[in-house]
Structure 1
Amino acid sequence: MPSIESAHADVQSAVAEAVQWANAGEARTLWEYETRAWALMLALGRALVVLFLARQMSRPRAVRYEYAGGRWELAESRTTTLATRFGRVNFTRRVGRRRTRGSSRRAKADLPIDRDLGLCGGFSPRVVMGIARLCAQMSFANARATWLDIYEWAPAPRAVMRMVDAAGGVARQFIEELPAPEDDGEVLVLQVDAGGAPMVSHAEFERRRKPKRKGQRSREDRREERAANPKPRRTKGKKSKNAKQAFTAVLYTLRRGADGQLDGPVNKRVISTFESHEALFIWLDREARKRGYGEKRTLFLADGSEHIWRLQQRFFPAAEACLDWFHLAEYLWKAGRSFHREGSAALRGWVKQQKQRLREAKIDAVLDELRERLAAIPRTGPGNKGRRERLAQVLGYIENHRTRMPYAKFIADGLDIGSGAVEGAIRNVVRVRLDGPGARWGLKRAEHVLHLRCILVSRLWDRFSEHIEMRDALALAPEPEPAEPHTVRSAA
């Protein structure tokens, strides 16, 4: 490690070089100027980091210390590379050693200075959190490319996975420990849905683990072999996507303004997990109680999944249940196409009439209309069986959910009747990031990215970074977590 005087001289030299270059009178394009100026700023940043480390190393430090229930002693020095935003610098510090009495084995090493500085396995915390944030927004390869374009260096691909594993591994704990917002509204809204992300199957995982061999056959030979042995068409339940559902919930409140109207959403937060619907509801129950469930008026919106509604009755029986308006509208269009031509004015008029009836709490009128239409379709004849089945399905759907259609009351109170918030969360949290072309995830890392994405979409990343800064340094594992495959069970 250079002395403070030497490091200080390097800083002055970097500043002088930047000033001298900026004052040069030669003709340059702005592209050239920005490129060189940024390189000089990065060099100055590295020099400042070295000076900072030199000053930290010069501080008095006890040779003997206690840590993790043991007694340690500073021994030999170790020089490694420390990766910062400005680039890599060499870092020399003394290593702590603890020997077991009577043992000839080399004692385990400890790096107390790294711990005091909050270093993360050879990376600065800003690097780890910066990479994790990029990986929550884009593919790992694009995250590395973006970092390289900005800082002119990038961590190795496996290091990127280690950073995501470390940051994602504490993301859910951060979300669960968040206190309720102080400026919440009077009405609590809960919305639940799910969206699939492609997972690596067990068969594909085993294929990836096999050693790769260079192909010995020509492209023509391989093409002829594929033509001679075509793959059978995948049937229902055996699709290539191999999706695992990400069970997602959105919580927010509505606040009454000076005009008496409810405004929102206020303090919208997203939670999501690949575990199960029940695991999501257990988590959602804790979050909802923090936000005032049991004391505030609570709305629960979802689509027609019977499993969701069973869990709603179990975890949120006091909430006012409401079937998603737009989901119901799709069923009305489906019913209308059973007796009106697709795209016709008659179809649009019929659907509009049924929507108006539902808004006015005239559910019986809608059901009577559907029963009359069903009775009017002959049991025999071309296409009549399918039309009757579709109409009967819609009729049964509305009958099953009629107690979850308080649209007239909700509209009068200025409340939401659509689950657009959770639909948007599924799109932004799951599909945009995890359902990319050719993506195949392992369950653990997908869960990490999912939680990081929830923090990002909930606009909590700055608080998450502060949480990481105040806690002990993130522990980067020596190797990335192995991929955990998942295979969708085939439909019976």
Structure 2
Amino acid sequence: MGGQRMENINKTLLIEAREKFDGILDYITGEAQKEQIHEVERTLFGKLIQLGKTLLELFIERKGDGSVGKTHTDEEGVVRKLQTKRKEKVYFSIFGIVVIMRAYYWIKDKGGVIPLDAQLNLPQNRYSYILEEWATLLGVRGAYNKVADVLSTILRIDLWNRPIEEMMGRASDEVEEYYQSQPVPDAESEGEILAIAADGKGIPIKRKEIEKESRVRLKKGEKRGKKKVSTVTAVYTIEKNERTVDDVVKEVLEADRAVKAKEEPKGIESKKDRPKPKNKVVKATLAGKEEAFKDLSKQVDERDPENKKQRVALVDGEHKLRDLVKKYLVGFCIILDLYHVLEYLWKAAYVFTKEGSKEAELWVTTRLRILLEGGVLQIIEDLKDSLKQGKLSKSKRETLEKVITYLENGQEYMRYDEYLAQGYPIGSGVVEGACRNLVKDRMEMTGMHWSIKGAEAVLQMRSVDVNGMWMKFWDFRAKKKHKILYNGYPVKAANVEEEALAA
């Protein structure tokens, strides 16, 4: 009886699918001819979704209930009996909700198993892996409420924000394991220099979580506020690139003029003929700088286990970052990112010249040349001499003192004449780009205030997207889920006769 019933359902669904397909053909050759093409597209897509749901239901029914006979024996030798009542699974697919009926095997004290779940690699929850992938991708790139709107508009399915956030959280839990599973890049695809870069980028956090954190004693250098700083890191290799002081000055001026003209700045290391970063991996985390550098150390060991490459670390002026490089990345040449140094030179320039003036540009350009020729000490001495003259206002003196302190603290890492001669990168455009693309563009959208857990989940998934690993990650996740949930299950159903007897 059961086998005949399934056959009847299959025939009904097959007829329904053919009727819907024929209906589509009738529409295209008939009514659609009176419509504009965009109207046809909209109607046609809706009809294809309806057809897709019917075809998915037909696939499920043709698959059967997953019965493997009257008993099921797992890899440990436990024998379970087929139960009379089948288990219902509500499955939320990209075509809408479908119901899957599954054969259920059970024995006292050992629990039950459902072979069809393994055969289809059904998720533990109700949501299709494809639906999770698409919803998560939209959530990585835009606000959650917009995700729900897009899914409703395009797929005609309704999802609340909460399930989308939960999808993001579940997927993010497996990002680190995915990274660990990836093979090391081929040696032929790598550059001569192994570079890391690190920076911080604030993320607006919900007030109640900020208040909770504020009750805990702050660490040195941390401030109370509405934002929590994420640590953004990059690891890549790059070929050497020897260039002159004139080359760098020209690029800096071009980038500065682009900013003033409200164009996208090319940056210090971005000229077309410059070597491009190879096998770049960017990440961001709210787990703290220490954890971020532990991860950097692990990546470095995997990328260059025999320590054959020249190693460079590009950081800003923060003491903590330099200390962590020394702790976790021993032997790296620490370079203070020229972009950050330039910010301080401009601050000093406005002490002596009008903001935005040609005189200010000339002042910075002159000091930049001195800096690139290894003359940071000369700049410091000149600024100190200006302080001694006593002709500056209190605010201007304070600005100069801050610039002098910054240069003195970082002068050990400003040997740009040596770096240029070695062909080392001197600008952290890679991590600056990551701060913008990975963090700012999503985390600082209008009205955004995050929980720490929710923000971390998006950062993890956004790194996968930015690194171009999206499809590979979801393939990895589906395989991992099957292994975890269904290890030891038989994956072949019984033959039709056995299924009929079992039913």
TM-score of the superposition, structure 1-length normalised?
A: 0.81
Residue 172 in structure 1 maps to residue 188 in structure 2: no
Match of 2:327 in 1: 314
Instruction: Return closer, same or farther for 1:162/1:67 CA change in 2, 3 Å cut-off.
Output: farther
Per the normalisation by structure 2, the TM-score is 0.79
Question: Which residue of the partner structure matches residue 158 of structure 1?
Answer: 162
**Residue 187 in structure 1 maps to residue 193 in structure 2:** yes
1:463 aligns with 2:469: no
Q: 1:68 to 1:302 in 2, by over 3 A?
A: farther
Match of 2:350 in 1: 337
Are 1:272 and 1:451, in contact at CA under 8 Å, matched by a contact in 2?
yes
Q: Secondary structure at the match of 1:439?
A: coil
Matched, 1:119 2:89: no
Paired position in structure 2 for 1:231? none
Query: Quick one: distance in 2 between partners of 1:450 and 1:74?
Result: 45
The match for 2:21 among 15, 32, 57 is 15
Match of 2:44? 37
Task: Report the equivalent of 1:396.
Answer: 405
CA gap of 1:28–1:345, structure 2 versus 1, over 3 A, is closer
Residues 311-346 of structure 1, C-alpha deviations (whole Å, 9 max, x = no match)? 111111211111010110111111222233333333
Of 329, 333, 337, which aligns to 1:324?
A: 337
Match of 1:350 among 338, 342, 363: 363
**SS of residue matched to 1:440:** coil
In structure 1, C-alpha distance between the alignment counterparts of 2:355 and 2:65, rounded to whole Å: 80
Instruction: Please list, as runs of the form range in 1=range in 2, the aligned pairs for 1:384-463 lying within 5 A after superposition.
Output: 384-463=393-472
Q: SS of 1:135's equivalent?
A: helix
Q: 1:94 to 1:79 in 2, by over 3 A?
A: same
Residues 185 and 279, structure 2, Cα contact 8 Å, conserved in 1: yes
Worse overlay, 114-123 or 44-53? 114-123
Query: Mean Cα displacement is larger for which, 149-158 or 353-362?
Result: 149-158
2:30 aligned with 1:24 = yes
- Would you say the 8 A contact 1:134–1:143 is kept in 2? yes
Provide Cα deviations, 1:393-413, integer angstroms capped at 9, x if missing partner.
212221221111132233334
CA separation in 2, counterparts of 1:98 and 1:137?
Answer: 47
Partner in structure 2 of residue 145 of structure 1: 149
What residue is the counterpart of 1:74 in the other structure? 82
Secondary structure in structure 2 of the residue aligned to 1:155: coil
- What letter is aligned with 1:22? I
Change over 3 Å in CA distance of 1:204–1:250 after alignment to 2: closer
CA distance in structure 1 between the partners assigned to 2:71 and 2:335 by the alignment:
65
CA contact (8 A) 1:188 1:297 kept: yes
- 245-254 or 338-347, which deviates more: 338-347
Equivalent residues of 2:192, 2:237 under 8 A apart: yes
Question: In the alignment, is residue 94 of structure 1 matched against residue 97 of structure 2?
Answer: no
Percent of matched pairs sharing the same residue: 24
- Classify 1:71/1:403 alpha carbon distance in 2 versus 1 (closer, same or farther; 3 Å): farther
**Matched ranges for 1:263-302 at <5 A:** 263-292=275-304, 294-302=307-315
Partner of 2:334: helix, strand, or coil?
A: strand
Check the 8 A contact 2:197/2:430 in 1, yes or no: yes
Distance 1:194 1:351 in 2: 26
Paired residue secondary structure (1:338) = helix
Can you give the 5+ residue segments of structure 2 that lack an aligned partner in the other structure?
A: 1-5, 213-221, 242-272, 486-503
Q: Which region of structure 1 is more displaced relative to structure 2, 108-117 or 451-460?
A: 108-117
Partner of 1:364: 377
Q: 1:356 to 1:391 in 2, by over 3 A?
A: same
Whichever residue aligns with residue 6 of structure 1, its letter is: T
CA displacement 1:365-391 (0-9 Å, x = unmatched): 22222222122234xxxx633322221
Does 1:245 pair with 2:248? Answer: no
Following the alignment from structure 1 to structure 2, what is the Cα–Cα distance between the partners of residues 296 and 202? 47
Q: Partners in 2 of 1:149 and 1:475 — Cα distance?
A: 35
Amino acid at match of 1:249: T
The answer (yes or no) to whether the contact 1:468–1:474 under 8 Å persists in 2 is: no
Whichever residue aligns with residue 43 of structure 1, its letter is: Q
Contact 1:429/1:453, CA 8 A, preserved across alignment: yes
One-letter amino acid matched to 2:286: F
Q: Secondary structure at the match of 2:90?
A: strand
Closer, same or farther: CA 198–408 of 1 in aligned 2, 3 Å: same
Which segment is superposed worse, 30-39 or 298-307? 30-39
Measure how far apart 1:71 and its partner are.
5.0
Tell me how far apart the structure 2 counterparts of residues 15 and 65 of structure 1 sit (CA, whole Å).
40
Report if the CA contact (8 A) 2:280-2:467 is conserved. yes
Runs of 4+ in 1 over 4 A off after TM superposition: 66-71, 107-110, 203-206, 236-239, 473-476
> For the residues of structure 1 that align with 2:70 and 2:168, how far apart are their CA atoms?
35
Higher alpha-carbon deviation: 442-451 or 409-418: 409-418
| Displacement after TM superposition at 1:60 (Å) | 5.4
Q: Classify the secondary structure of the residue corresponding to 2:331.
A: coil
1:203–1:281 distance in 2 versus 1, CA, 3 Å:
closer
2:80–2:112 contact (8 Å) kept in structure 1: no
Deviation at 1:300, TM superposition (A): 0.4
In 2, the alpha carbon distance for the partners of 1:149 and 1:171 equals: 29
Match of 2:58 in 1: 51
Cα gap change, 1:270 to 1:323, in 2 (>3 Å): same
SS of residue in 1 equivalent to 2:352? coil
Deviation at 1:68, TM superposition (A): 9.1
Distance 1:285 1:395 in 2: 32
Point out where structure 1 has 5 or more consecutive residues left out of the alignment. Answer: 101-106, 207-235, 477-492
Deviation at 1:29, TM superposition (A): 2.3
Q: Secondary structure at the match of 1:264?
A: coil
